[in-house]
Amino acid sequence: MEQLLKDWDGETVVVRYDRPTGAWIFIAIHSTRLGPATGGTRMMRYPSPEVAISDALKLAAGMTYKFAVPEFPRGGGKAVVAIPDDFDPQTRTDLLRRYGKLIQQLGGLFYTGPDVGTSSSDMDIIAQTGAPYIHSRTPSAGGAGSSGPATAMGVFTGIQVVCERLFGDPSLEGRRVLVQGVGGVGESLIEHLRTAGAEVLFSEVDEQLVRRFRDELGFQFVPAETVYSTECDIFSPCALGGVLSGDTISQLKCRAVAGGANTQLAGPEDAERLRTRGILYAPDYVINVGGAMAITGIEALGWSRGEAVRQVVHSILGGLRQVFKLAEKEGITTEAAARRVAEEHLSKGS
């Protein structure tokens, strides 16, 4: 853990051990150059505290770049609540309240919302002790609700830009799109794709979701073991990150990767692997900013929902086109181009 922190280029890490439950809480503040650090709270089991803090550090950096590309006035942060294997669900509410108190004690250094393993209902509980630094509470509690639909709208917009780049036309009519993960983001994305006339395939490990999307809604199911080798125009990872590695990239039979999952690249070298194979990559933090931008805009900047949608679509259209243009001009990966754009914007806030 010590070496992870020494190698990290962020600002601050808050570490708290929750003795009543045995959970570890890590709040990683990567950058406050453009505004207060903002990012979701991930709550799940990890093999070790070291793996959990490593996840928090990577995700926080991703949030910095996510906000920097569209020059949104927020910095990058992320929280991970690593629960033990023997975690008692009945202790969850009190753990969330203690976590909220910790956020409140930070006095605005970190704002948070839902992520993997947490929901808007959880934000209602966290806000009991953590207000006013909690976003995406349920509408009944005065919040803007789930960020999933806005994230999906942004990813859909990114896929349109990908089609524009590959085929000269943003239309999804007849395009074969494979969505990996049909949770909050994937489900909404599938609806956009179907409405646009795409041929949609999906992969999912939750049997209940598989039955719903395959048997009730009629979408073609792709088993996890063949998801990377399935032919499609666009592969859209919308589950957990780290799915693009040397092993999986070698199997891909797609023209492009454009999805909502965070930190999709297993390592920095994987962007070059995609480029070498001629697979166009839409950097995840460029196209999955929609939820974070929309919810923060509505709750902190006074946007209407209509304005939030317009801002998300406009930002992703402009940002991704800029990244693709720069990558082609400089002969670099789209990941490197996105980082260059983000760093230029961050330098203005230094």
Residue 250: count of CB within 10 angstroms of its CB: 11
Where do we find the tokens 């926080």?
60
Q: For residues 163-174, b (16+ Cβ closer than 10 Å) or e, as one string?
A: bbbeeeeeebee
Which one of the listed residues 66, 78, 101, 329 is annotated catalytic? 78
Q: Which of 290, 321, 322 is nearest to 308 (CA)?
A: 290
Strand pairing category for 37-45 and 110-114: parallel
- Which residues fall within 8 angstroms of residue 346, CB to CB, at 6 or more apart? 31, 33, 34, 64, 68
- The H-or-E segment that residue 28 falls in is strand 23-31
DSSP class of 224? G
What gap in Å lies between CA 130 and CA 315, rounded to an integer?
A: 30
Active-site residue 78, yes or no?
Answer: yes
Active site residues: 78
